[in-house]
Chains A and B, each alone.
Chain A
Amino acid sequence: MTFYELVQNSLRDSLGTSIPAFAPELLLCATIVMLLLGRMFSGGRSNLAYVIMMVGCLAAFVVAWRTDAPEKPVEIFTGMLVHDSFALFMRRLLLLFVILFTSFTRLSGTPDRQTATEFYTLILGATLGMCLMVSANHMLIVFLGIEMASVPSYALVGVIKERRVSAEAALKFAVFGGGAAGVMLYGISLLVGTLGTAHLPTMSVRLAELLGSSAGSEYHPILVLAGLMIMVGFAFKLSAVPFHFWTPDVFEGATAEVAAFLSIASKAAALALLLRVTLGLGHVPSTLDTPTTVPVRYAVSEDAGTATAESASVSGLVTDSNAALLPARQYSAWLIALFAAVTCTFGNLAAYGQDNMKRLLAYSTIAHAGYMLMPVAAAILLAGTDPEASRFTVAAIGFYIAVYLFMNLGAFALVAFLRNELGSEQLPDYAGLARRSPGFVICAAVVMFSLVGLPPLAGFAAKFAIFAQTYEAGLLSLVVIGVLNTLFSLFYYLRVVKTMVLDPEPEGRPAPTIRIWSNAGFYCALIAVLLVALGVFWNPLFAEAQFAASMLLP
C-alpha cells in the first residue's frame, strides 16, 4: 500500500462514512464556535446565547434523528468510534436532554445573560464528550470522552462566581475527578499494555487468547488490578459507593440546573460507556476477521467479502474465545453487582436524614446509580450464555436511562422553580405548598412517585424491566436487594410529598404560588404527563430501546 493509497483510503473513510455519522457532534462543535463569536456582538446583553444554543441543539437533534442506523455496526474514524443503533439511541437521548435542559435553564433564569455564553459553551463541550463516550470503540476515546465530559463539569459547578460553597464544591469535584481519572488511566494503561492494543474488539480477542492459554495466568493479577482501577473511574462518574463522596457536596454547591445536568447526562453517558467497555471486552465479535497485528483498522465494510468467506472457520473460533472470556465476564459482573448492591442500599439509607433537597436528590441519584448497575451485571453474565437476553437487558437499561432522564429533570426543575419562588432549597420550607399551588404539587408528586417506582408511572415500568432482566440472569439476591431498596426509598420520597401536601404552611412565609398555567408550571406538567404516559404505554419506547440494543454483541 503506497502512501497515496493510504491517504485515499483515509479520505474515503472520513468523508464517506465517518463524517456523515458524526454530523450531530460536528454541529455541536459549530454551535460552540457560534456561541463564542456571538458573545463578541451581543456583549452579553441579549438572549443571543440562548437562541444560538437552542438552534444548534435542535439542529443536532434533528440530524441525529434523521440519521439512519446502519445495518450492522460500522467502525468510523479508523476504528476509534463505532456507529451503531445503540450509539445513535444514546446520542438522540443526550441531545433531547440538552434541548429540554436548555429550555429549563431559560425558564428558571439561571444562567443570567452575563454568564449564559460560558454556561452553554461548557454544557455543549461536556455533551460532546458524552457523545464520544457512547460511541467509543477504543480505549483512547474512552478516556478522552470521560475527560471531555468531566472537565467542563468541574467549571460548571463553580459557574456562579463569588459563591463560596460553589467554589468549594468545584474544587472538591475537580480534585476527586482528577484523582479518579488518574487511577482509571493507569488501569487502562495496564490493560492496554498487557493486551498490546487499545481497540476494543481486538482487545477482546487478545484477552480471550490470554485467558485461554496456560501461560497467561501470570498476567491475571495485572488484569484484575486493571479491571478494578478502570472500575474506579466508572464508579466516580456514576457516583457509585464508595466513590460517591463528591455527589452530595457538589450538588449542594452547584445550582439545581447544573446538578440536573450532572445527575442525568453524565450518568447516562457513563453507563452507556460502561456497557460498551464491559460487553466489548467480554465478547469476541463474530464478524471480526482474523485478528490483525496492526492496531489501527480501517472500516469493516472493506473486509466484508473476506469476512463471509471465513465466517465458517471463524464461528468455531469465536465460540472458543467466548468460552475463554468467561472469567473476565464473571469478574466484571460480580464487581459491578457488588457496587450495585452497596450503592443502592447506601444511597437510599443516607437520603433519610437530608433536609436540603439537592442533597436528598443527590443521594437519590446515587441510589438510582445502584439500580442501573444491577442490569449491567446481568447483561454481562447473559452475554456468554444467551446474547439475545443480554441485548434485551441492554434495552431495559436504555429504557431506564430514558425514563430516568425525565424523572430527574423533573425533580431538579421543581427544586429550581421553587428556589426562585421561595429562595430556599430546604425541604421544611416546602410545607403546605399544596394549598396554593395544587397543580404544581401534583406534578411534584408524580415525579417523586415515579422515582420510587410506583405504577402506573414510568419509573415503575423502568424498574420492572431492569429487575426482570436481573432476575433472568439469575441474580436473585440482587433483585431482592433492589426491591427492598424500593421500599426504603419510599419513605424519603414520600416525605417530600408529605411535606408539600400534609404539613401546615409555616407562618410568616411569603405565599408562593406557582401557577400551573405559567411557563414553569407548564414545563412541570409536561414532564408529569410524559411520566404517566410512558408508565402506561411504554411499549413504543421500549421497542426503540430494543432496536438500539440489537446491534450489540455482534
Chain B
Amino acid sequence: MTLTSPPILLSLIVFLPAVGALVIGLLPKGRDELFKQVALAFTLVVAALTLYLALPGQPGAGADSARFLLGTAQMQHAFSIPWIESFNIYYALGIDGISLPLILLTSFLSVLAMGASWTIDKHVKAYCILFLLLETGMLGVFMALDFFLFYVFWEVMLLPMYFLIGVWGGPRREYAAIKFFLFTMAGSVLMLVALLALYFNSDLNQLGPAQLAASHLHETVVERYDPSGTAEPQHTFNLLALAHQGQSENSPFSQLLVGGKSIQWWAFLLLLIGFLVKVPAVPVHTWLPDAHVEAPTPISMILAGVLLKMGGYGIIRICYPVCPDAAYELAWLVCTLGVISMVYGAFAAMAQTDFKRLVAYSSVSHMGYVVLGLGVWSISGSTGMTGDYWKMGMNGAMFQMIAHGISSAGMFFLVGVIYERVHHRNLDDFGGLFGRMPVYTGVSMGIFFAALGLPGLCGFIGEILVVLSVWNYSQVLAVISASVMILTAGYILWTLQRVYLGPEYKGPHGDEIRPITQRELAIAAPLLAFAIILGVYPKAVFNYMAPSVNKLVDDLGQARYGNDYSGGIEKQTGSVERIEPAENELALREISPHREEAGQP
C-alpha cells in the first residue's frame, strides 16, 4: 500500500481537513493569521490531492494508482472496510464520473472560500476548525458508497454549518441558522426511515455473481454469499448493491408497504423530500434565502456552491438507481417541482431589493434546472424506448450543478466584496460602480452573464441541454422552462443595470468604495476563468461525467423496459474506444440542437 493506493488516498482526501481542524485546535490561541494560513494550507493540499485523483490514469495501472480512468462508467477505486459489522455497515468509498467533478468542485471552492475568509476577525480559531470539519463532511458525502456512511457525513455537515451561520452571520443569524438546521434535519430523519426500509428489504443473496463483483463488497461479505435461496437474507447498506437490487426484475423493494404503495415508492418519496430540502426546491426552499442572506460571504459561497449540489447528487446517486420504478411513477412530481422552482425562483429574484437575497433566489431558480433535468428522463424514454433525451437531460443537470457551483459562488463572493465596502445590500441604493471599480465590474459582468446562461459561458450548456431534453417529455413544461431563461435574463440584466451602471453611486458609505484588491481578485478571477473555460470547452467535464451518467440512464432503461430498451444513438458500450464518438455527439448537440430532431426517426 502506498500513498496513492485508493483506500489511503481517498481517506486522506476526506479526513485531511478534519486533521487540519485538530491541528488548529491544538495551536495556542490568539494567533489568528496563523490559523487562517494553516486552514488554507490544508484546503490547498486537499485540492492538490483531488487534482491528482482527476489526472487521467492508465488502465491496468494496478491497485496502487488512484488516478481516474477516463471513459470508465463504473465505480472506480472503490474499497470496503468493515466498520460496524453488527449492522453490516462498511466504510466504503469510491469515485465515478458523477462524483469526481463534484469532489473537484468542493475542494476547489473550499480553497477559494477559505481565501475569502481573511476578512473574518471574530473567533478565528473556531471558524477555521468548523470550516475544515464542514469540508470533511462534504467530501465524505460525495465519496461514500455505504448508505449509512453517506448519512453520517450528510449529518456531520449540519453542526458546523449551524454554528458558521449562527456565530458569524448577519443580524438575523440565529433565526436563519436554526431554520437551516430544522429544515435539513427534517429531511434527513425522513431519509433515515427510507434507509431502514431499504436495508431490511435488501438481500445480497439475490444478486447475481457479476452484480456482486460490481458492488465492491468486502471479501467476508462475498464469502457469505449464498444464492441458493435458502440462506438467511444478507442485508446491506452498500449503495451499488442496493442499486442492483432496485434494478433487478423481482426487486424486493417492489413489495407493498403501506397505503397500497411499494417500498420503493415510499423510499423514493422520503429520500426525494430529504434531498429536495437541500437542493432546494419549492416548497421546501424557504430556509435558503434566510441562510444565504445571514451567512458570512465564504459560507454563502460554500452553501450555494457545494451544499446545494449534495441534494442533486443524492437524487442521482440514491433515489434513481435504487428506486427506478418509483422514479418512473413519480417523474411528474420531480419535473413539476423542478419547473415550479425555476419559475418561482426567477420571479422571486426579480422582486428582491436585497442583493444577496436576489442571488439566493436565483439559486432556487437555477437548481430547478437540475431537478428538471434529473427528472425528465423517465418519460421521454417511453416514446421511443431510447435513452437519448434522458441522457441529455441528466448530463445537462449534472453540468448545471458544476456550472452553478462556479457562478453562484462567484456571485455571492462579489456581493460580499461590495458589502464590505458600503455595508448595505440595497439594490436601489447602488449604481455607478462601473466608474469607481472597473475591474470588479468587469469580473462581475462575466460571472453574472455566466449565471444568466449566455452562450460561451458555463451556465448556457447545462440550461440548454435540460430545456432541449424536456421537449419530448412535455411541451408545456419545455415552453415554460425555456421562458424562464428570459426571466433569468430579465432579473440579471436589471440587477447589473441597477448596481453597476448609472451615472454615479449615491448610496451610503460612498467614500469607502475602493477598487478590488489583489486578494479579492485572486478569488474572483479563477471563478471567472472556469466559467469561460467550461463554457467554450464543456468536454472537460463531459469527458469525466458522460460515461457514468449514460450508463446510469441505460441501466435504468434496462430495468424499466428490459429488452425493448435500446441505448439510442450513442450505443453504450462501456469500452474506451467507443466513448470518443459519443463525446463528439454530445459536443455537437450543444452547438446544433437540430441534430437531435434529425436523429429521431
Shortest CB-to-CB span from A208 to chain B, Å, is: 28
Name which residue of chain A comes closest to B148, CB basis. Answer: A464
Q: Which of B194-202, B374-382, B428-436 contacts A (4 or more CB under 8 A)?
A: B194-202
Interface size class of B (residues with CB under 8 A): 35 or more
Are A502 and B166 touching (Cβ within 8 A)? yes
Shortest CB-to-CB span from A364 to chain B, Å, is: 17
| Complex alpha-carbon distance, A501 and B159, angstroms | 13
For B445, the chain A residues whose CB sits under 8 A away are none
Name which residue of chain B comes closest to A468, CB basis. Answer: B196
| Complex alpha-carbon distance, A465 and B181, angstroms | 23
Q: A490-B181, A539-B85 are in contact. Are A476 and B189 (CB under 8 A)?
A: no
B:176-203 near A, CB below 8 Å: 177-178, 181-182, 185-186, 189-190, 192-193, 196-197, 199-200
Shortest CB-to-CB span from B434 to chain A, Å, is: 39
Are A501 and B167 touching (Cβ within 8 A)? yes
Shortest CB-to-CB span from B91 to chain A, Å, is: 10
Are B196 and A487 touching (Cβ within 8 A)? no
Q: Which of A460, A472, A494, A498 contacts B155 (CB 8 A)?
A: A460
Q: Which of A465, A467, A494 contacts B192 (CB 8 A)?
A: A467
For A461, the chain B residues whose CB sits under 8 A away are 84
Are A455 and B178 touching (Cβ within 8 A)? no
A:504-554 near B, CB below 8 Å: 538-539, 542-543, 546
| Complex alpha-carbon distance, A472 and B185, angstroms | 23
Q: Which of A11-19, A119-127, A306-314, A478-486 contacts B (4 or more CB under 8 A)?
A: A478-486
B:3-54 near A, CB below 8 Å: none
**A449 at interface by CB-CB < 8 Å:** yes
| Complex alpha-carbon distance, A467 and B86, angstroms | 15
Are B166 and A498 touching (Cβ within 8 A)? yes
Q: Which of B126, B182, B189 contacts A484 (CB 8 A)?
A: B189
Shortest CB-to-CB span from A95 to chain B, Å, is: 25
**A38 at interface by CB-CB < 8 Å:** no
Are B182 and A539 touching (Cβ within 8 A)? no
| Complex alpha-carbon distance, A347 and B163, angstroms | 27
Are B258 and A476 touching (Cβ within 8 A)? yes
**A182 at interface by CB-CB < 8 Å:** no
Shortest CB-to-CB span from A539 to chain B, Å, is: 5
Q: Which of A392, A454, A494, A538 contacts B178 (CB 8 A)?
A: A494
**A152 at interface by CB-CB < 8 Å:** no
Q: Which of A460, A465, A468, A479 lies at the interface centre, i.e. has the most chain B CB atoms within 10 A of its CB?
A: A468
Name which residue of chain B comes closest to A542, CB basis. Answer: B86
**A438 at interface by CB-CB < 8 Å:** yes
Are A483 and B192 touching (Cβ within 8 A)? yes
**B87 at interface by CB-CB < 8 Å:** yes
| Complex alpha-carbon distance, A299 and B166, angstroms | 63
**B521 at interface by CB-CB < 8 Å:** no
**A491 at interface by CB-CB < 8 Å:** yes
**B257 at interface by CB-CB < 8 Å:** yes
Are A455 and B85 touching (Cβ within 8 A)? no
For B166, the chain A residues whose CB sits under 8 A away are 498, 501-502
Shortest CB-to-CB span from B201 to chain A, Å, is: 10
Shortest CB-to-CB span from B88 to chain A, Å, is: 11
| Complex alpha-carbon distance, A502 and B167, angstroms | 6
For A490, the chain B residues whose CB sits under 8 A away are 181-182, 185
Are A455 and B199 touching (Cβ within 8 A)? no
For A456, the chain B residues whose CB sits under 8 A away are 152, 156
Name which residue of chain B comes closest to A543, CB basis. Answer: B86
Q: Which of B86, B177, B185 lies at the interface centre, i.e. has the most chain A CB atoms within 10 A of its CB?
A: B86
For B494, the chain A residues whose CB sits under 8 A away are none
For A502, the chain B residues whose CB sits under 8 A away are 166-167, 173-174, 177
| Complex alpha-carbon distance, A88 and B462, angstroms | 62
For A331, the chain B residues whose CB sits under 8 A away are none
**B83 at interface by CB-CB < 8 Å:** yes
Complex A-B: 19 CB contacts under 8 Å? A395-B86, A454-B155, A454-B158, A455-B152, A456-B156, A460-B155, A464-B148, A467-B196, A483-B189, A483-B192, A483-B193, A487-B185, A487-B186, A490-B182, A498-B174, A501-B166, A502-B167, A502-B173, A546-B86
19 new A-B contacts, CB < 8 A, other than A464-B192, A483-B193, A539-B85, are: A438-B126, A454-B155, A454-B158, A455-B156, A456-B152, A456-B156, A460-B155, A468-B87, A471-B200, A472-B200, A476-B257, A479-B193, A483-B190, A486-B185, A487-B182, A487-B189, A501-B167, A539-B83, A539-B86
Q: Which 8 A-B pairs have the closest CB atoms?
A: A483-B189, A455-B152, A471-B196, A455-B155, A539-B84, A542-B86, A487-B189, A502-B166
